[in-house]
Chains A and B, each alone.
Chain A
Amino acid sequence: GENVEQHPSTLSVQEGDSAVIKCTYSDSASNYFPWYKQELGKRPQLIIDIRSNVGEKKDQRIAVTLNKTAKHFSLHITETQPEDSAVYFCAASIDTNAGKSTFGDGTTLTVKP
Chain B
Amino acid sequence: GAVVSQHPSRVICKSGTSVKIECRSLDFQATTMFWYRQFPKQSLMLMATSNEGSKATYEQGVEKDKFLINHASLTLSTLTVTSAHPEDSSFYICSARYSHSGNTIYFGEGSWLTVV
Contact = CB atoms under 8 A, between A and B. Distances in A.
Interface of A: 32, 34, 36, 41-46, 49, 89, 95-101, 103-106
B95 A99 contact: yes
Contacts of B45: 103
Interface residues of B, number: 25
B44 to A, nearest CB: 5
B108 A43 contact: yes
Q: For chain A, what secondary structure do more than half of its interface residues adopt (helix, strand, loop), or is it mixed? A: mixed
Contacts of B33: 99
A42 B43 contact: no
A52 to B, nearest CB: 13
Interface in B24-76: 32-34, 41-46, 49
Nearest to A43: B107
A99 B108 contact: no
Given A43-B93, A100-B34, A101-B105, 15 more contacts: A34-B104, A42-B109, A44-B44, A95-B103, A98-B97, A98-B105, A99-B96, A99-B97, A99-B105, A100-B46, A100-B49, A103-B43, A103-B44, A104-B43, A106-B41
A101 B97 CA distance: 12
Contacts of B91: 41
A104 B109 CA distance: 20
Nearest to A6: B43
Given A98-B103, A99-B49, A99-B97, A89 B109 contact: no
B95 A42 contact: no
B93 A105 contact: no
